[in-house]
A and B are shown apart, each in its own frame.
Chain A
Amino acid sequence: MSAALPETAPAAPGDETPERRFPTAPLFLSGPAALLFAALVLTPLFLTALLSFNQFDYATGRTGGFTLEHYLSVVTDEYYLEIFLRTFRISALATAICVVIGVPEAYILSRMTNPWRSIFLLVILAPLLVSVVVRAFGWSMLLGPEGPVNGALIALGIGRMKLLYTEGTVVVALVHVMLPFMVIPVWTSLQKLDPAVEQAALSFGASRATAIVRVVAPQILPGILSGSLIVFGLSASAFAIPGLLGGRRLKMVATVVYDQYLSDLNWPMGAAVAVILLAANLIIMLTYHRMVEGHYRRRLG
């Protein structure tokens, strides 16, 4: 290190908006919310992480001490492995179907003219705001033994099928719940797309399909990716759909945690599963964040 370097410019003076003369102001302004989040996000998560390392005594229901057995049993116990695998399988399937349905639908929506575009956007997105219990209940009626789907199957001569409490039903209902989360980001990236680019491709003699695959698709890929991650993350932690449509035997991670807490009362075990779920979610989201940032940096640089 050379000692002779001259002092660079004097420390920058504070910024000049009138408020910035009081650097304490943002602390006062964000203080209440920060307290709430410290008390009700950070503290409980920390407590839960601690709890997941506690031993659990089945006989007395007491917790305490330190153990890794809950985490170990998640990776060794076949019961948990199966549940994690099933959750992964169902979520991946739901995500794939959401891509297959949601991406073309967003594209079709973006090519509509108003007022149809607004109306159908509302139709696709508004169910998002209806309680998921209601939607799950709707599916249980549609697919129930006396429901219209079975009615149609009988009328077609295929005969009644057991649809409820199967993985298929859970996937279908998850797709219904998650589809808006796929349409939204794809729609957003389509909005940013310059329609002239696609027209230019067509004017060069590209067929419609080629134009979509070569010109449109690459530009909405980040939207598809971000939608897929959201759908996958939300599916993997979905509770109401497997709870209401999966029945007693088709458990997913969330319903298992619920059982651990409220039936088995094995809180440490439930906490360990929850911690793993949270960690998986955060890793996926942060990796994605990195990826997208790198992607755009390369594009701009």
Chain B
Amino acid sequence: MSFLELKNITKRYGPLTAVGDVSLSVEKGEFVSLLGPSGCGKTTTLQMIAGFVEPSAGTIRLDGRDITRAKANSRGLGIVFQSYALFPHMTVFDNVSFGLEMQRVARGERKPRVEEALSLVHLSPYAKRYPRELSGGQRQRVALARALVIRPPVLLLDEPLSNLDAKLREAMQFELREIQRKVGTTTVMVTHDQAEAFSISDRVVVMEAGRITQIDQPYRIYEHPETEFISRFVGKTNLLPGKVVTATGAGATVSLAGIAVPVETADLSVGETVTLCIRPEKLHLTAPSSGLLTGRVADRFFLGSQWLYHIDGPVGTLMVVTPNDGSTPAEQGAPVGLEWSPSVVRVHRGAMAEAPDVALEVTG
């Protein structure tokens, strides 16, 4: 039986369903991320677990106990807020010690536990400072220490890193994961940054408009997105509209603007409209007219470790990412061939939805 269980959780605000029918099981010690675009209900879900928002329907169980209606201050969960929510009038030490005080831990025991928590987040020398005297990353770690010191059964993080600059955020991601491994606390984190969700989570829950669309390991979400929305939202992708021309038990052929492309998806039917998703890094540049498609380099961008090409071809503009291995890149305007393995193509049934720049917008 799972440690934290959400069953058919729903939250309505008047006519708006902020969270609809969400079910999720989190194992003990697991690190789960809720990932989704702004307004999709991540915070609301987290707040229901925390006890700040009362679900309109459904149940929440923690370690077998029904906590759906339990008050926030009786749940004993550790929470890190996006704004850190440190007590501005208390020192770092007092901030961390507050939860222990509330649990009526004896003064003598409090001190070593606070010190332990502070050393866990590498803040021992800052115990006497006030929050306003700390940098963003340090405040973030105080918030983490304050949440962890009470040894909560579950740690809830609401966009804990979103107020940090890119470099610090990356460093903190690894630190967060390391600390979580060390203390082994079951963790639920909310984020809209897919890189963050992928790099530190055991499993990722993708949410869209208040509903869960996929729960899986990061790798599987990236490689096998279950919907076109997910493939757009998670990483960059090429979406190609086509029609099934032949279908067998083991695969099919799809026509893209008259060019036949093999795919490995079974049980498609001839004549069906489909959308093919191919990740840019799965496409390879070859000599002109030797690949599956031929096109021309419309633009190229140097990304340091990689090259990003925009290739104009018969099926429109495709994004291609190649590793920068030191060799000479293809010139702008040069004709190139494109090639890929049928196994990397994901097929979604139906025509393409009209929102082609979502992926660029939210993944940044």
Contact = CB atoms under 8 A, between A and B. Distances in A.
Contacts of A17: 52
A8 B72 CA distance: 31
Contacts of A13: 12, 54, 56
B15 A9 contact: yes
Interface string B1-17: 00000000000111100
Interface size class of B (residues with CB under 8 A): 10 to 19
Interface string B56-99: 10000000000000011000000000000000000000000000
A12 B12 CA distance: 8
B53 interface: yes
A16 B47 contact: yes
Contact of B54 (A8, A10, A12, A16): A16
Contacts, number: 20
B77 to A, nearest CB: 14
A16 B47 CA distance: 10
Interface in B1-58: 12-15, 47, 52-54, 56
Given A8-B15, A10-B12, A18-B72, 14 more contacts: A9-B12, A9-B14, A9-B15, A12-B12, A12-B13, A12-B14, A13-B12, A13-B56, A16-B47, A16-B52, A16-B53, A16-B54, A17-B52, A21-B54
Interface of A: 8-10, 12-13, 16-18, 21
A interface: dominant SS: loop
Nearest to B73: A18
A1 to B, nearest CB: 21
Closest 10 CB pairs of A and B: A9-B15, A12-B14, A16-B53, A9-B14, A16-B54, A13-B56, A18-B72, A16-B52, A12-B13, A8-B15
A13 B48 CA distance: 14
B128 to A, nearest CB: 32
Contacts of B47: 16
A276 B340 CA distance: 88
Contacts of B71: 18
A17 B71 CA distance: 11
A238 B214 CA distance: 71
Contacts of A9: 12, 14-15
A208 B307 CA distance: 54
B-side binding surface: helix, strand, loop or mixed? loop
A12 B56 CA distance: 10
A25 to B, nearest CB: 15
Contacts of B12: 9-10, 12-13
Contact of A18 (B14, B15, B52, B56): B52
A13 B47 CA distance: 16
B13 to A, nearest CB: 6
Contacts of A12: 12-14
A18 B14 CA distance: 18
A21 B70 CA distance: 12
Nearest to B56: A13
Nearest to A18: B72
Contacts of B72: 18
Nearest to A11: B14
A9 B13 CA distance: 9
B124 to A, nearest CB: 34
A10 B16 CA distance: 10
A10 B14 CA distance: 7
B24 to A, nearest CB: 20
A113 B317 CA distance: 56
A95 B100 CA distance: 61
A15 to B, nearest CB: 9
14 contacts: A8-B15, A9-B12, A9-B15, A10-B12, A12-B14, A13-B12, A13-B56, A16-B47, A16-B53, A16-B54, A17-B52, A18-B52, A18-B71, A18-B72
Contacts of B53: 16
Nearest to B53: A16
Nearest to B14: A12
Contacts of A8: 15
A9 B52 CA distance: 23
A12 B18 CA distance: 12
A141 to B, nearest CB: 48
Nearest to B15: A9
Contacts of B56: 13
Interface centre among A8, A10, A16, A21, by most chain B C-beta atoms within 10 angstroms, is A16
A8 B53 CA distance: 23
B266 to A, nearest CB: 43
Contacts of B13: 12
B108 to A, nearest CB: 32
A23 B71 CA distance: 16
A301 B238 CA distance: 41
A16 to B, nearest CB: 4
Nearest to A9: B15
Contacts of B14: 9, 12
Contacts of A21: 54
A13 B18 CA distance: 13
Contacts of B54: 13, 16, 21
A12 B52 CA distance: 17
A118 B287 CA distance: 72
A8 B16 CA distance: 11
A9 B18 CA distance: 13
B161 to A, nearest CB: 25
B69 to A, nearest CB: 10
Nearest to A21: B54
Contacts of A16: 47, 52-54
Nearest to B16: A9
A8 B15 CA distance: 8
A21 B53 CA distance: 11
Interface in B114-149: none
Nearest to A20: B54
A12 B71 CA distance: 21
A85 to B, nearest CB: 56
A13 B12 CA distance: 8
A138 B14 CA distance: 62
